[in-house]
Chain A
Amino acid sequence: MTALDFQALAPHLTLTGGLMVVLLAVSFWRSHRTAFALTLLSLAAAFIALWPGLGAGPRAVTPLLMLDAYAAFFNGLFILIGAVTALLAHRYLEGRAGSQEEFHVLLLAATLGAMTLASAQHFAALLLGLEILSISLYAMVAYPEEDHPPLEAALKYLVLSGVGSTIMLFGMALIYHATGALGFAELAAFAATGDRADLWLSAGLVLFVIGIAFKLSLVPFHMWTPDVYQGAPAPVTAYLATVSKAAVFAVLLRFAVDAQLLDLSSGAQVSVAMLFAIIAVLSMVIGNVLALLQNSIKRLLAYSSIAHVGYLLIALLVLNALPGQPMAVETALVFLVGYLAMTLAAFAVVSELSSAADGERDQIEEYSGLFWRHPVLASVLTAALLSLAGIPLTAGFIAKFYLFAAGVDGELWGLLWAMVVGSAISIYYYLKIVFAMTVRGADAPAIPASFAGVATAAVLGVVVLAIGIYPTPLIGLASDIAQGLRLTP
């Protein structure tokens, strides 16, 4: 490795260093405040290190990692979301008996895993990143271990995410058997020349898609999602719904661009594009319908996130319909940023109303009258929910509008119908919560929110509106990054 390689890896190395510092500090000096401050410092240092990293140019460090603007974009998002999660978790864990410090170590490790996924260009890096992320998350979900729901959620997550990982691994092994390639670029070379009708290759691709669908919690592999989201502590749910999904989608999109995943199967017995289209339609329709039946806001948001990842798959299929055009990648990035902002804002409010000591506050009745009890949090939640419903002047509208335009260009009519129907259904259950918040409630429990947490939620609410009102900088950034990828027609 040369000096330039180390420079390109700067964000990963900085975060690894920070992780070690927090780990050592925690083992010698138990203080939640110190661990929290060091965590924020490490994340800030890693964020600053993104620029020297970009300065090394798009660079493949070993055959495993590709450090380009695309990776840096996702790394920046993951670091920011990690910082928000640390801020929310600090207050959430405060009143709890036992030690709080290790949570921050796990959070840094999970962020490192997500960053590895965003820069992976090889099956080995994909596996490592995915598992660093997932295994840290199992422990984060179970962190308030004195309570029943987190333990149960962690166990369910461990078993079902483990099954998803192994299915994906078996798929990778079969793809390797058929093609002799583990790197994305080598797979693309195979797609150009090799025998794509091989039965083992088809089986491997199907298993790989199923594994990805498990990780992105897409219908029909979504059954773990509502339980895990409900049982996990609210700040961890926020992290699960944002970083773990965006990281898996980041690597899927890079795989689709570099290795021509959707093209690998043409001429074979199965079409990966067809599989993804079916999964997307099922996720959009079933996710939205099941969300109607929920009384827990965390379960409701879990189903709505299933539907949103279903929408996101449209961008992936546009890539297949219009190969070689950066528009699909640009759309996916814009949609993802919108989704991350509004989901994080919604969960930030849920988290600020809950605490490890008093338990989760996630039933919709408990939100009645929130406008009178805590106007700031209620406004942020309203902005987030309206945005999730796709109301104009919010990030969600821009995201869906972009996706719709891309879908029209790709002529994916069936998927667009599913998206329209799904969005129409979704307006009902989002507005149900907004209306509940305006009802004057009687005796309500005290709100444990801290100033830092409310400020974080407020900033997220402003971001949701800002993207909706003035999306030009985001679109410009997404377009630059999409142009920088090696798109092959």
Chain B
Amino acid sequence: MTAVSVPIEHVLVLAAALFTIGLVGVLVRRNVIFLLMSLEIMMNACGLAFIAAGARWAEADGQIMYMLILALAAAEVAVGLGLVLQLQRRFDNLDIDAASELAG
């Protein structure tokens, strides 16, 4: 039914690119909201890679892993945003470096 199909490798390269963008975001960004967004991009890159791999083996497993990743990302962001709210309310700052008191 499809005349042109995308090679699996291309999808994986796209996923790897997204993953790298997210990783760079985590390393470079200092605002907590952007850190959480970068983390979200990394998770979705994993999801894309799983779907591509599932397509290669013509199995539903990859898509099920994607559903688990979705649930995990939602749970992680829920806790993350809770922390962000507390941070904003008590210290009036969302910069992760300004929030740094523990000796690193």
A interface with B by C-beta (< 8 Å) = 123-124, 127-128, 131, 135, 138-139, 142, 145-146, 148-149, 151-156, 158-159, 162-163, 165-166, 169-170, 172-174, 176-177, 180, 182, 200, 223, 226-227, 230-231, 296, 299
Q: Give bound CA distance, A139 to B76, whole Å.
A: 10
Contact A124 B76 (CB under 8 A): no
Contact B39 A163 (CB under 8 A): yes
**Known A149-B102, A166-B46; contact A158-B64, beta-carbon cutoff 8 A:** no
Q: Give bound CA distance, A158 to B59, whole Å.
A: 32
Which of A135, A146, A148, A176 contacts B79, CB < 8 Å?
A135
Look across to chain B and name the residue whose beta carbon is closest to the beta carbon of A142: B83
Which of B12, B82, B91, B99 contacts A177, CB < 8 Å?
B12
Specify which of A138, A152, A173, A174 lies most central, judged by the most chain B CB atoms within 10 Å of its CB. A173
Contact A180 B45 (CB under 8 A): no
Contact A151 B87 (CB under 8 A): yes
Set of chain B residues within 8 Å of A166, measured between Cβ atoms: 19, 22, 39, 42-43, 45-46
Contact B15 A127 (CB under 8 A): no
Q: Give bound CA distance, A280 to B76, whole Å.
A: 30
Interface size on B, residues (CB 8 A): 48
Set of chain A residues within 8 Å of B80, measured between Cβ atoms: 138, 155, 158
* 8 A Cβ contacts from B51-72 to A: 52-54, 56-57, 59, 61-62, 64-65, 68-69, 72
Contact B102 A155 (CB under 8 A): no
B interface with A by C-beta (< 8 Å) = 8, 12, 15-16, 19, 22-23, 26, 32, 35-36, 39, 42-43, 45-46, 49-50, 52-54, 56-57, 59, 61-62, 64-65, 68-69, 72, 75-76, 79-80, 82-83, 86-87, 90-91, 96, 99-104
Set of chain B residues within 8 Å of A172, measured between Cβ atoms: 46, 50, 65
Set of chain A residues within 8 Å of B57, measured between Cβ atoms: 176, 180
Q: Give bound CA distance, A148 to B102, whole Å.
A: 10
The A-B contact count (CB < 8 A) is 134
Set of chain B residues within 8 Å of A146, measured between Cβ atoms: 90
Contact A138 B49 (CB under 8 A): no
Contact B86 A145 (CB under 8 A): yes
Contact A124 B49 (CB under 8 A): no
Q: Give bound CA distance, A177 to B56, whole Å.
A: 7
A133 to chain B, nearest CB (A): 12
Contact A159 B49 (CB under 8 A): no
Set of chain B residues within 8 Å of A165, measured between Cβ atoms: 72
